[in-house]
């Protein structure tokens, strides 16, 4: 069950995302119907969901979703968590007991508070959380944190996405932002942690594609202390966003542009300021360029962003109906849950499309 991939993970996929920009919640069965339409894009070896706004009563605590191989490793991880943070609540993640999915691990969630005294000097609270996640995921054999943000959670496993949704009883959750992923791996590690979305803090990424520049993206991240252990593109994308947005503090537009920057011939035609900025961006962040086919949906507490590679080698369709934004690999999935959208379009290659949570007064 916890045998991780030793070679590069290769897979094709379906992705879908739904967000209400006013923060109105949507039930989990909606996104499940959408992703189920694209059944043919998955092969039953991985499905998953990310949901935002699902733990309002614990919204100030980090919600860790962890999978364990056995009670032994669960005990040692819990000891470690108690040493480094305050465990406010600990419970099994509710599942539909009558269903059985292959290789089901122990699925547990923890709501955690970080006392200031536990944070080492020079670390922000988020740095600290990232270091705890990295430590557990790399040092505790048989444990894997698959979700670590506040008021959000990731649910994933081995199976078609609609089965994974039923297994986790997602129809009982209400979220203002959902993303979903159906996986078609061509090599089969058969590991729950290898399913998507992949998350870190409140970032979650669902991704369809294979990044041909994986090797250098990974080596670049390693320079900044990230350990890419899952051999998946999604992991690399999440860490890259974490590096660019959180550690390097780049404006969101710029960070996304670094992943799919304009071509030199376009840059050469830009006005002085923009040309200077883009030239420097490509010089400095060349190793962050995600080259090769991808469409991704990046979600966080405040936004949902859809983007494809710069020559759009994988599909992405976006639609809007009033305050709700839909993004999907195929338009059919959107039409399934929103028959009459106000607009439907395909973004340009490399052009990010945003849905943003309105500030609540």
- Pairwise CA distance, residues 89 & 34, whole Å: 33
Side by side, which strands form the sheet with 47-52? Answer: 152-157, 47-52, 177-185, 11-20, 324-328, 317-321, 343-345
Among 1, 4, 8, 27, binds other proteins (CB under 8 A): 8
Compare residues 72 and 286 and give the one whose CB is closer to other proteins.
Answer: 286
The DSSP element (H or E) to which 177 belongs, if any, is strand 177-185
Looking at residue 250, the DSSP 8-state letter turns out to be -
Nearer residue to other proteins within complex by CB, 137 or 208: 208
User: Which residues make beta-bridge pairs with 11?
Assistant: 185
The yes or no reply on residue 4 touching other proteins (CB under 8 A) is no
SS3 assignment, position 87:
strand
Position among 138, 251, 269, 342 found at the interface with other proteins (CB under 8 A): 251
With a CB cutoff of 8 Å and minimum separation 6, the contacts of 40 are: none
Least separation, in Å, of the C-beta of 210 and other proteins? 4
What are residue 153's DSSP bridge partners?
51
Instruction: Looking at residues 160 to 199 of the shown chain, list those that interact with other proteins (rule: CB under 8 A).
Output: 186
Query: What Rg do the C-alpha atoms of the chain give, in angstroms?
Result: 19
Single out the residue of 46, 157, 293, 352 in contact with other proteins (rule: CB under 8 A): 293
Residues 62 to 121: which contact other proteins by CB under 8 A?
A: none
Can you name the residues that pair with 154 across neighbouring β-strands? 50
Smallest gap from Cβ 206 to other proteins, in A, equals: 18
Please give the residues from 213 up to 232 whose contact with other proteins meets the rule CB under 8 A.
213-216, 218-220, 222-224
Quick one: which H or E segment has residue 357?
Answer: none
Structure tokens at 194: 């290898």
**What does the alpha-carbon distance between residue 75 and residue 337 come to, in Å, rounded to a whole number?**
42
Residue keyed to tokens 């058969």: 190
Question: Residues 82, 264, 332, 345: which binds other proteins (CB under 8 A)?
Answer: 264
The catalytic position among 5, 13, 50, 289 is 13
d(CA 80, CA 85): 9
DSSP character string of 34-63: HHHHTGGG--SS-EEEEEES--GGGTTSEE
At its nearest, how many Å lie between other proteins and the CB of residue 328? 21
> Which position among 274, 322, 342, 348 is part of the footprint of other proteins (CB under 8 A)?
274
Pick the stretch among 86-94, 114-122, 285-293, 323-331 that binds other proteins (CB under 8 A).
Answer: 285-293
**Which C-beta is closer to other proteins: that of 55 or that of 294?**
294
Q: Is 12 in the site for other proteins (CB under 8 A)?
A: yes
Residue 212 interacts with other proteins (CB under 8 A)? yes
Catalytic: 13? yes
The whole-angstrom separation of Cα 199 and Cα 237 is 10
Element (H, E) at 123: none
Q: How many residues bind other proteins (CB under 8 A)?
A: 49
Residues numbered 45 to 64 that lie near other proteins (CB under 8 A) are none
Closest separation in Å from C-beta 277 to other proteins: 4
209 binds other proteins (CB under 8 A): yes
Residue 172 or 269: which CB sits closer to other proteins? 269
Tell me the C-alpha distance between 200 and 202, whole Å: 6
207 binds other proteins (CB under 8 A): no
| Residues paired with 17 in a beta bridge | 179, 327
- Could you give the residue numbers annotated as active site? 13
Using CB under 8 A, list all residues that contact other proteins: 7-8, 10-12, 186, 209-216, 218-220, 222-224, 247-251, 253-254, 263-265, 273-274, 276-277, 280-287, 289, 291-293, 310-311, 313
């Amino acid at each position: 069950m916890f045998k991780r991939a030793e070679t590069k993970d290769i897979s094709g996929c379906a992705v879908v995302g739904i967000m209400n920009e006013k923060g109105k919640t949507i039930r989990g069965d909606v996104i499940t119907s959408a992703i189920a339409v694209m059944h043919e894009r998955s092969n039953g070896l991985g499905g998953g969901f990310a949901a935002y706004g699902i733990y309002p009563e614990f919204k100030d605590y980090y919600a860790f979703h962890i999978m364990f191989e056995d009670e032994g490793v669960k005990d040692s991880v819990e000891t470690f968590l108690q040493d480094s943070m305050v465990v406010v609540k600990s419970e099994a993640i509710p599942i539909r007991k009558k269903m059985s999915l292959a290789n089901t691990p122990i699925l547990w969630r923890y709501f955690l508070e970080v006392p200031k005294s536990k944070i080492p000097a020079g670390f922000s609270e988020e740095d600290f959380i990232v270091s705890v996640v990295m430590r557990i995921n790399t040092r505790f054999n048989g444990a894997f944190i698959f979700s670590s943000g506040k008021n959000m959670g990731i649910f994933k496993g081995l199976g078609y996405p609609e089965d994974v949704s039923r297994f986790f009883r997602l129809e009982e959750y209400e979220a203002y932002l959902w993303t979903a992923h159906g996986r078609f791996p061509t090599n089969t590690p058969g590991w729950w942690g290898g399913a998507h979305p992949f998350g870190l803090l409140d970032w979650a990424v669902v991704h369809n594609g294979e990044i041909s520049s994986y090797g250098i993206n990974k080596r670049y991240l390693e320079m900044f202390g990230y350990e890419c252990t899952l051999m998946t593109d999604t992991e690399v994308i999440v860490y890259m966003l974490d590096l660019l947005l959180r550690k390097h503090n780049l404006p969101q537009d710029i960070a996304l542009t670094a992943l799919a920057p304009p071509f030199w011939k376009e840059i050469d035609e830009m006005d002085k300021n923009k040309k200077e900025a883009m030239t420097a961006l490509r010089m400095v962040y060349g190793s962050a360029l995600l080259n090769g086919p991808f469409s991704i949906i990046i979600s966080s507490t405040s936004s949902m962003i859809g983007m494809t590679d710069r020559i759009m080698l994988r599909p992405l369709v976006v639609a809007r109906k009033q305050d709700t934004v839909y993004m999907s690999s195929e338009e059919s999935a959107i039409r399934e849950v929103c028959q009459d959208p106000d607009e439907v379009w395909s973004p340009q290659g490399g052009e990010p499309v945003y849905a943003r949570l309105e500030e609540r007064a």
